[in-house]
Structure formats: C-alpha cells, structure tokens
Structure 1
Amino acid sequence: MSLDDERNDGLYGGSGETRTRLPEGEGGGQDGYGGSRRSSRSSSRSLVTVVGVVVLLIAAIAFANRGGGGSSGEGSGDSEKPGAAPTAPTGERPVDGKTSGIPSGFAKSEQGVQSAASNYAVTLVSADILKPARRAQIVRQIFVPDKVAALERDFGKTYSKEFLDKVGLDANGNPAPGETYVSRTVPVGTKTTAYADSAATVQVWCTGAFGTAGQNTTNPVSNDWFTMTFKLRWTGGDWKVERYSSKDGPAPVNGDNKVSTADEIAKAVQEYGGFTYAR
C-alpha cells in the first residue's frame, strides 16, 4: 500500500505527506527491482509507437507552417474561453534568490504565486522533509508564521521513528549504508483556482521518483503522479503556504520502459541536480 495513506488532510491539509512507497506484495505485477515487469516490447506495440510519432511530427510541421494566409480566429468568439495558459518563457525571473536553500522572493502576481507553489511542492515532497534538522528550516521558510509551531509538532508526530523505520531510514532520516533514499518531485503544470491581492489557491500537477535505491531494499524506487493544492498568503514580502493537500493523479498509462538497476538510480540522483521552477 502507498504511504499516501499517512497524509493528514485536516487543519493543515496534508502537512504530513510523503510519496514514499512500500512494497505492494508479491506476484502482483508491480514495477520494481524485484518485480515482474515485462522487459520485452512486442513488435506490434513498437510499430504503433513509431506510427504515432510520425503522425505527431507531421501534425507539428503542418501547424508550424500554417498561418498568415487565413483567419487567425480573432473575433470568432472562441477567445472568450481560453484554454490552459502555455508554459513558455516570460522573460521574468521567478525569484531573486534562496533562503535556507529554498527559492524565495516570488513576485506578487499570479505568475509569482504559481512559481512559489511549484517550488514548494518540490521541497515538501523531498528527502529533506524526513530529516528533522532540515525539516525545521523548511517549515519556517515555507509556511506562514502563525502556523509554524503547530506544523512543527504535526510533522514531528507524522515522521516519527516508527515511520522512518518503516521506510528504511534512521532517526535522522538517513538510509542504511550503501543505499540511497530518493524523493524527487517534478511539477508538470500549475493552475490558479483563486487569486486576490494577498491570497491565492494554486494546484500543482506533479510526477516524481520515490523509494530507496539499494540491492536489498524492500521499498524500490517507483514513479507516481499526484496533484497538490496550496492555499497561499502574501506575508513578509513573499508568498507563504497557509495549508496544502494532495490527491492521486491524473496519471497516464505507464510506458513500457526498461527498469533501471538500483545503482543506476542512485547514480542519477547523485549526479543530476534539481531546478528552480517558474510559470
């Protein structure tokens, strides 16, 4: 079962969340280093994939070459119901710097609050949140001041010694020698559902890799998809989290990817750094 069941969706809405996964039993067809995932690809599936890529390329080329000679759609009435805002460079810097290693100084705008929510999602569902000393810094930096004391207590109860034992970590949030604990979150998209001068609600659609990379692990690294909802408040010249929650999905169909070894996953985590996210 997923440890998502450990989340707390009460007053602080998911303040105790982790995406760490526990083994889901034997012979269940689950992906993992010891799982029964298929490693071969059928020729028919490969053919369908190739055809699909070719079709997409043709469509992309046609779209790129279109324009200039016909109607642009202006005045058609469709512009009154725009779709999701494109994720494209704006020329604006998302933040001015970092505080305690966490991006800070977000703009007081809808773009700024979406950037804040994205970066906070990465931090709150990271390996650092399981380390008591680091967790205290994260809570004080990310959350509104009047929630900090209660959240520190709640996080401490949620990430107890028993919980850390369950995911294979010691009291300081460190894995056993020779193992690497992985909790990498990647924002896929953001959506503002409410925005005012000093308050906003933002949803962040995420994916990531979570688990322990090691030869004898019972918690292998796997992929997950989830959506986090943040209620943020403008205070002290920056956006801070008042509460947040999380739910599963939307999740695409799993690709037929070859599963990497524990050593490959551990090496990737050590060699590839993260990003500062901007809308």
Structure 2
Amino acid sequence: MSTGDENDYGSDAGRSDSIGGSGQTRTRLPEGDGGPYGGARRPVRTSRSLVTVVGVVVLLIAAIAFANRGGGSDTAADSTDGKKPGPNATAASGVKPVAGSNEGIASGFAHTDQGAQSAAANYAVALGSDGMFKKDSRHRIVNAVYAPDVASAQLSALDKVYSGRKFLTSIGLKADGSAPTGMTFVSRTNPAGAKTVKTAADTASVSVWYSALFGLAGAGSTNPVSESWYTNTFELKWINGDWRVTDFSQKDGPVPVGRDQTASSAKDMTDAVKQFGGFTYAR
C-alpha cells in the first residue's frame, strides 16, 4: 500500500525543455538501464512515437491508481518474528475491518499476524472500558474476550477486584460501580500501536501501547480525569474461528513528554466524554 513508487512514474515523462530559444523541443523519457530517468536525452521523435509513449504513461498511471484502491497484500504489515517493524508497520493495510460483533466487541478476526494485532487492540479497549466496573457488563466483556477455559477463573478474580467497596470508593464510585450524582465516570483506552512479539500456528503474543483516560468528570471531583500510558501484552489463542485471550500482563509506558497545555474545565471534560464516542480498532 505504499505510494512511494507512485511518485516516480510520470514525473518528467513528456516534459519539454526549450533548447537555446530556438523553439525546438526534446522529450526526456525513461531509459531501460539508467534508473527512473535514464541517461542522455533522446532526439525529437515523430508524432506517432510520442502518441505511443503518452499512451504507455497513461496506462502506467491507471495501473498504479487501480492497485492503490485496496485489496493488496498485507505481507508488509505482518511481522511474525518479533523483529523491529518496518516504517509502514502501522499503515493502513487495505484489509476490510471485521464485520462480526460479540457483546458489542469486534469479532471474527483473521487467522493472521495482522488479525491477532487487531484482536489485541480491540480487547485492550474493551478491558479498559467503564463497563468493567459493573458486574453484568463485566461478565459479558470477559466471556467475549477470554478463552472459555480461562474465562471462569478470570471472572472470579476480576469480581473480587472490581466489586470491592474499598476499591470503588477509592476512585470515587458508588458500591455498584456507578458515578455519584452530577459526575461522569471516564475509563477509556486509546491504542497508539501494536506489535507482534511472537507467533506460532494457533497462538500469538501481541503488545498494545496505549493511553488511558481515567477519573471522574464533574464539579468538585476529587479524582479528576487524567491521562496515563501503558503497554499490555496479550497471550492469544485461536479458538473456534477467532482469537481469544488466555492471559495478559501490563507495564507502564513508554510515556511521552507532556505539552504545556491548560487542563480543561470539569464541564468541558464531561461534554467531551459524552459527545465523542470511543473507537474500535482494526489493522
């Protein structure tokens, strides 16, 4: 999907340069062995030759435009050996996003390196959402994201964490996980990139780097919305036609340098959360 080659075609083909003010023109055309623009200039050609050359150039441009409409190979976007990704590692692949949905979470990812990255990014969004703080939605998310053989154990562990009164009150929520009257709870994950750590036939380890917005928006909030950066590494397994999480770990950063910007008011932050919906991600 790189358009770098496109810029080389037709840049000088057909360009006429005046010679000594005589009115004569010579046409610079590509040579076979001299790089994009060849060696010496060729003499003036007949109109029939020029028509042939122009026709070739038009066909080349049309072919490039057609190729860039999408549907190309995603080989360049894949990185199955965990090596440093190329400069186009996070470029749009041209592969259509998944059409499936499971409990509001994208599903039906491709059995490829790119599909594993897309699944991990989507699962990071779901597991970092405010839905994790309420029992019913938490159970739906966990059952949709985790492999069936580990979902039950994960539910038990997560229920202990997210249902604890001490934990909920420490972040300003009520015992049922809802926000106090007049407040808006914000928990949103925003992936910045993903990379494959390692892959096998039906397993993959994928890291997702993301920023997180977390806190209570509203006048008098003791836990205002703040930003932080993390990297989650998901262990994925191919089960029943889709990638599922078997385990994951989290670490801080990388953290960029913050700009010297004035924090928004509680009202502006509340309005932004309500007006700007979160994204799902597909590579």
**TM-score where L is the length of structure 1:** 0.70
Q: Are 1:100 and 2:87 counterparts?
A: no
Which of 214, 228, 231 is equivalent to 2:232? 228
Q: Deviations over 1:185-228 (max 9, x none)?
A: 11001110111221000000001211111111111111111101
For 2:149, the equivalent position in structure 1 comes to: 146
Q: Are 1:246 and 2:240 counterparts?
A: no
Correspondence 1:32-181 to 2 at 5 A = 83=86, 85-159=88-162, 160-181=164-185
Which of 171, 187, 193 is equivalent to 2:191? 187
Contact 2:125 2:280 in 1 (8 A): no
The residue type equivalent to 1:228 in the other structure is N
Contact 1:175 1:181 in 2 (8 A): yes
Q: Which of structure 1's runs of 4+ aligned residues deviate more than 6 A?
A: 63-66, 68-72
The residue type equivalent to 1:205 in the other structure is W
Which of 265, 277, 282 is equivalent to 1:261? 265
Q: Deviations over 1:82-131 (max 9, x none)?
A: 63543222221231221111111111111101000001001111111111
2: CA distance, partners of 1:121 / 1:180: 21
Q: Taking structure 1 as reference, are residues 150 and 263 closer, same or farther at Cα in structure 2, changes over 3 Å only?
A: same
The residue type equivalent to 2:129 in the other structure is S
Q: Taking structure 1 as reference, are residues 81 and 175 closer, same or farther at Cα in structure 2, changes over 3 Å only?
A: closer
1: CA distance, partners of 2:240 / 2:138: 21
2: CA distance, partners of 1:208 / 1:146: 29
Q: Identity of paired residues, percent?
A: 46
2: CA distance, partners of 1:84 / 1:194: 19
The residue type equivalent to 1:204 in the other structure is V
Contact 1:94 1:107 in 2 (8 A): no
2: CA distance, partners of 1:84 / 1:193: 17
Q: Taking structure 1 as reference, are residues 164 and 194 closer, same or farther at Cα in structure 2, changes over 3 Å only?
A: same
2: CA distance, partners of 1:228 / 1:81: 18
Give the RMSD, CA atoms, in angstroms. Answer: 2.3
Correspondence 1:23-38 to 2 at 5 A = none
Q: Taking structure 1 as reference, are residues 64 and 274 closer, same or farther at Cα in structure 2, changes over 3 Å only?
A: farther
2: CA distance, partners of 1:82 / 1:123: 26
Contact 2:110 2:116 in 1 (8 A): yes
2: CA distance, partners of 1:82 / 1:183: 30
The residue type equivalent to 2:100 in the other structure is G
The residue type equivalent to 2:131 in the other structure is D
Q: Deviations over 1:204-258 (max 9, x none)?
A: 0001211111111111111111101000000021100000111100011111112
The residue type equivalent to 2:190 in the other structure is V
2: CA distance, partners of 1:177 / 1:145: 37
The runs of 5 or more residues in structure 2 that have no matched partner are 12-33, 37-82
Q: Deviations over 1:19-65 (max 9, x none)?
A: xxxxxxxxxxxxxxxxxxxxxxxxxxxxxxxxxxxxxxxxxxxx999
Contact 1:94 1:112 in 2 (8 A): no
The runs of 5 or more residues in structure 1 that have no matched partner are 1-62, 73-79
**TM-score where L is the length of structure 2:** 0.69
Which structure has more RCO (C-alpha within 8 Å, separation ≥ 6)?
A: 1
Q: Taking structure 1 as reference, are residues 228 and 103 closer, same or farther at Cα in structure 2, changes over 3 Å only?
A: same
